[in-house]
A and B are shown apart, each in its own frame.
Chain A
Amino acid sequence: MTDINLLPPKFKRLEAIDRRLPQAWLWLGIALTSLLMIMITARVSRQNLIEQSARLSQQITDRTAAAQFDELSAQVKSLANLAEEYQQVFAKNRVWEEMFTYLEQTVPVDTAIDAVTSTADKQDYIVTITGTSADRRSIGLFRESLLTYKSQPLQPERVSQVVIESINADPATGRQQFSLKLTFDLNPKTASQ
């Protein structure tokens, strides 16, 4: 049934507003329900986050995880040691190479080198050179040349001491057998202190 209304327009407006009032309550109800649903969803999500966080925390404090971490840490240390050792071997090889070159250049013509050996401790790196020479004077010259030797790989260390450990005459050949000891100070600061 189509309704007509012959009330003055201002009353019809009031009536229309009044008609909308129950609808306003309906919309308010929908809005409140939606808000409630959002709050419930947020609460559930928050609870899930808390549970996940608790599980992670448990995993972190787990002894197995700690043991795995220790093992891994040990492996890393071991790798670091290997690298250090490699560096030392590499450096040692370079020391030898350079030293042989220097010895070849500086050894007097009437002097022959029989053996070069090395030992090292934390403080010193010691090289022992044995050989024969025609006379003692050449051995002295050889020792002096060795005093100025500076090892590039062991920078800034240099020969701190060259000692003639022994000189013996060989009656059979008439040549002088000698033994020279070069000492490199590996820890000059400690030495200076």
Chain B
Amino acid sequence: MIGALLSGDLPRSRLLSALLLAVLAGLALAPFVFPGTKPLDVAAKACVFVLLVASYDLLLGYTGIVSFAHTMFFGIGGYGVAIALSRMETGWSAVALGAAAAVALSLTLSFVIGLFSLRVKAIFFAMITLAVASFFAILASQLSGFTGGEDGITFKVPELLRTRLVAYYLVFGTSLVLFLVLLRVVNSPFGRVLLAVRENEFRAEALGYRTVIYRTLANCFGAAVATIAGVLYALWLRYTGPNTTLDFGIMIDILLMVVIGGMGTMYGAVIGATIFVVAQNYLQEAMKAFSESMKGVPLLPDLFHPDRWLLWLGVLFVLSVYYYPHGIVGQLRAGKKA
């Protein structure tokens, strides 16, 4: 039963299973175990980012393509639902229409970008996506009549979602289901072909798989899931703006989460995103305390300033790419074998 639910891709490490169960339980029971507004916000953000990072892992870890446009699709989802809800009558039909339009736009865009640039090298795709995503971010901040510019859009959600508990479980449930779908996809024959493309494109092509088509499909699917994650996040925040969705910093965060959690494992997304979101919200306080206790020592207070936490994550990121290419999950699995 559990095997079927996880598509036969079990965690394969006792510690990892325990961690995943802890995360699942923590997120499932968050409204009851951790009362208060901030912990619930953190939990909802963790859910959304698990989904977002898992969809990115499909691209980076499984297909071996680096995209810098994932936040663009995330943003399209957020803006789609925000624009629909702020212009139409507040209701579920507006949510559905906004989400559907956003997914359609994301699919079209990712298809065009994919066909255009996935034929050539990974590097080319990375550069093109970076250019397109930054263009999109500028566009969103400039078309202020339509997107609210730098201020973003604050909007009303349907009656039912105004209860935080319901909204939380909508976010949690959708993320969980879509995560399981992603797990299903990467363990399907389609997912195996993606792995083959990643490992040896030439051989996959020789076996008769059109690698461009597989890559483009993976790109589109990843983009669609990211869009839905954007929709969820916007519904939870009841706000969409450049800083919550399109910022290049978020793209960096996603990269950090995937690599630190473990590329090409799906569970890495869960671990990476959870650790990152919790660290983002709680580690900074610890750093603040440390930085203040270091007052008087030259440079150290600056290095441990709470805003400098990205520095340390960046160092961790570089080290993990060198030494732990499969991240935390890979380490845990390897530890079991030894």
Q: A and B from one assembly?
A: no
B residues sitting closer than 8 Å to A (CB atoms) are none
